Amino acid sequence: MAGPLASFALVVGLLTLTPGLDTALILRTAVLGRRRQAWGVVLGIQTGTLVWGTASAAGISVLLTASRLAYETLRWAGVCYLLWTGVRMLRERHPRRDGAGDGSDGSDSGDRDGDGSDDGAGGWWAGWRRGTLTNLLNPKVGVFYVAVLPPFIPAGAPHLAAGVLLTSVHVAEGLLWSAALIAFAHTLRARLRRPAVRRLLDRATGVAVLGFGAKLALGD
């Protein structure tokens, strides 16, 4: 099992490092100073990954490849969710801070928690919900696991247990990489506290999310 485990870790490690929708959501949330919500997004994404991996190992996600209707239903649900999320980001408003709003000292007029994180937009639970839905409503994640997971499960190994173990490796790598992203974003936070910069970040991430939604709609 050690050989397939190492090979799978390499494959999903490269996938984890590839910038995509997950990276955009985590960085955007963390740069805005919502550290708890950013970790909620991270854990939500990994919850979705674990569900997809377990479903694939159990043979359930094969339905996505066998049933066109199931795949299309999930795909369009994902498209609608991504477009809705992107539009919300484009329309989000950040209150000006007390003072001149010039990046000088002072606290945000929004909610801040004890660790300096702005979680006025819903906190950990809102982040977890967004991360989970973003992952689970993307049928391509399910198709990826259907295609990639089985070849790495050794012959004779308990299929479900081996699949969950391999998926856990993917989850662990995702958590490590996400921790690095959040730490990196935190170092930039002091420079990105101005409302104008936050609005620009929301616009950029919103456009990226809309782009992912359009790509999913076109089936690319």
Q: Which residues form the domain of 168?
A: 21-94+121-218
Residue 75 placed within a domain: yes
Tell me 121's DSSP state.
Answer: T
Residue 45 placed within a domain: yes
Alpha helices per DSSP H over the chain = 2-17, 21-31, 35-58, 62-66, 68-91, 123-136, 139-148, 159-188, 195-218
Q: What is the pLDDT of residues 64-117, one digit of tens each?
A: 666 677 677 777 877 787 787 778 777 776 555 444 444 444 444 444 444 444
Give the integer Cα–Cα distance in Å for 54 and 76. Answer: 23
Residue 172 placed within a domain: yes
Annotate 61-72 with DSSP letters as a single string.
Answer: THHHHH-HHHHH
Residue 112 placed within a domain: no
Residue 10 placed within a domain: no
Tell me 152's DSSP state.
Answer: G
Residue 137 placed within a domain: yes
Question: In this predicted structure, which of 33-37, 65-69, 81-85, 201-205 has the lowest mean pLDDT?
Answer: 65-69
Q: What is the pLDDT of residues 142-188, one digit of tens each?
A: 778 877 887 787 777 888 888 899 999 999 999 999 999 999 888 87
- Give how many domains the chain has, as a whole number: 1
- pTM of this prediction? 0.73
- 24-40 in b/e form (b: 16+ CB < 10 A) is bbbbbbbbbbbbbbbbb
Neighbours of 99 (CB within 10 A): 12
